[in-house]
Amino acid sequence: MQFESKLADIPTTIFTVVSRRARELNALDIGQGYPDFPIDSLLSEHVTAAMREGHNQYAPMTGVLELRRAIAAKIESTYKKSIDADTEITVTCGGTESLHSAILALVRSGDEVVLFDPAYDSYEPVVNLAGGRCVRVPLSPPQFRPDWERFAMALTPRTRLVIINNPHNPVGTVWARADLDELARLIRDQPVAVLSDEVYEHVVFDGQQHESVLSHPELSQRSLAVFSFGKTLHATGWRVGYCVAPAGLTRELRKVHQFCTFSISAPMQHGIARYLEAKPEAWRNLGTFYQQKRDYLCDALEGSGFLLRRAQGTYFQLLDFSAISDAADVDFVERMITDARIAAIPISPFYSAKETARPRLSVMRVCFAKREQTLQVAAERLREFAARIADEPPSTSVAAT
């Protein structure tokens, strides 16, 4: 029997492809974003205790109450915003499920969703699943700032949702308050919701401050903000995230969430709630912590041939290899994995879900959420590879794969 694919243009995610390739070739994986250092032992103790105490059955659909209360307290102290733990917070399977449930709950067939290009790879396929269409507004390199004139032109009466990502994965930029003001102004008179992916909220550098939609009086009325304990507590494999939105939007989100994952791992939720109670400041130094790692890697790559502007936020750094190779990013990364045993993420997959519609780029993303020792090995391999490539005649610099 033959089925017609609903998502014929959607390939396997670039993170899965690259990590699999890295494992096959025993390469150092600084592609997919995850820390290679342990979580706080106090956190694992609380989760283990929760299991021992019998929190091993279904958690409430909306999330364990103690955790939702801890989240409300965290938002109050971070963004000075009072959030109702019962009606405005939903615990989801990572930030990804929040994004998924929000898009499916809000986007109807024929609706348009505006997003900024490059965009995290999960947005567009879910919009397509909902029957919607993405309208992509470019963030132009090398600064990747939003162009509000072009954004205004992208809005139509069919626009239902705008997806923003701040701090931005993969480009590592951080929006200013003025950007949120501009967004609010441009959608003011239209029935458009905002889905704000803020999973790197605490990973912001150089004294900048994260501007959440939650602290924006106008945007907070129409936004669903997505957060992640995976990023904040160094536990991406636990898949615990949450969505914060006004009661009406939360009600809609929960209609999808309840039939998607229904509820999230009970001991993890209890453990995190207790941990946040014991250490309410646990995430406070994340910016400084990751800035040191960013600087360690960037310093080690100075003069390597890779061009870089230091990330303003997230734990990702873009590396531009146009000075050493004219290869396309996907080919460059494949050769780097094979020849230099180091894996990174090409950027072109963030421009379109459809492989044939992707631009040709000379940029890749590396993850610096790693121990110093890992970053040192990574920098050595990157430098050696860059030197080898730069010595080759241009046309042969990377064989097509």
Judged by beta carbon, residue 32 or residue 166, the one nearer ligand GLN is 32
By CB under 6 A, the count of residues binding ligand GLN is 5
Dihedrals phi, psi of 390, to nearest 5 degrees: -65, -25
Check whether the bond before 394 is cis (ω within 30° of 0).
Answer: no
DSSP letter at 190 equals: S
User: E-strand spans in 221-286?
Assistant: 223-228, 240-244
Per-residue tokens: 255 = 């209609």
Residue 210 neighbours by CB under 8 Å, 6+ apart: 166, 167, 174, 198, 201, 202, 204, 313
Residue tagged 């041939």 (tokens): 305
Q: Which of residues 156-185 bind ligand GLN (CB under 6 A)?
A: 169
Judged by beta carbon, residue 125 or residue 287, the one nearer ligand GLN is 125
- Please, what is the Cα angle at 84 between 83 and 89, to 5 degrees? 85
Least distance in angstroms from the C-beta of 274 to ligand GLN: 26
Judged by beta carbon, residue 219 or residue 343, the one nearer ligand GLN is 343
296 belongs to the binding site for ligand GLN (CB under 6 A): no
DSSP letter at 358 equals: P
Least distance in angstroms from the C-beta of 169 to ligand GLN: 5
Identity of the residue numbered 400: A
62 belongs to the binding site for ligand GLN (CB under 6 A): no
Of the residues 32, 212, 325, 348, which one makes contact with ligand GLN according to CB under 6 A: 32
Judged by beta carbon, residue 47 or residue 119, the one nearer ligand GLN is 119
Of the residues 10, 11, 13, 338, which one makes contact with ligand GLN according to CB under 6 A: 13
Of the residues 9, 15, 40, 51, which one makes contact with ligand GLN according to CB under 6 A: 15
Tell me how far apart the alpha carbons of residues 389 and 92 are, in angstroms, rounded to a whole number: 44
Least distance in angstroms from the C-beta of 100 to ligand GLN: 12
Summarize as ranges the residues that interact with ligand GLN (CB under 6 A): 13, 15, 32-33, 169
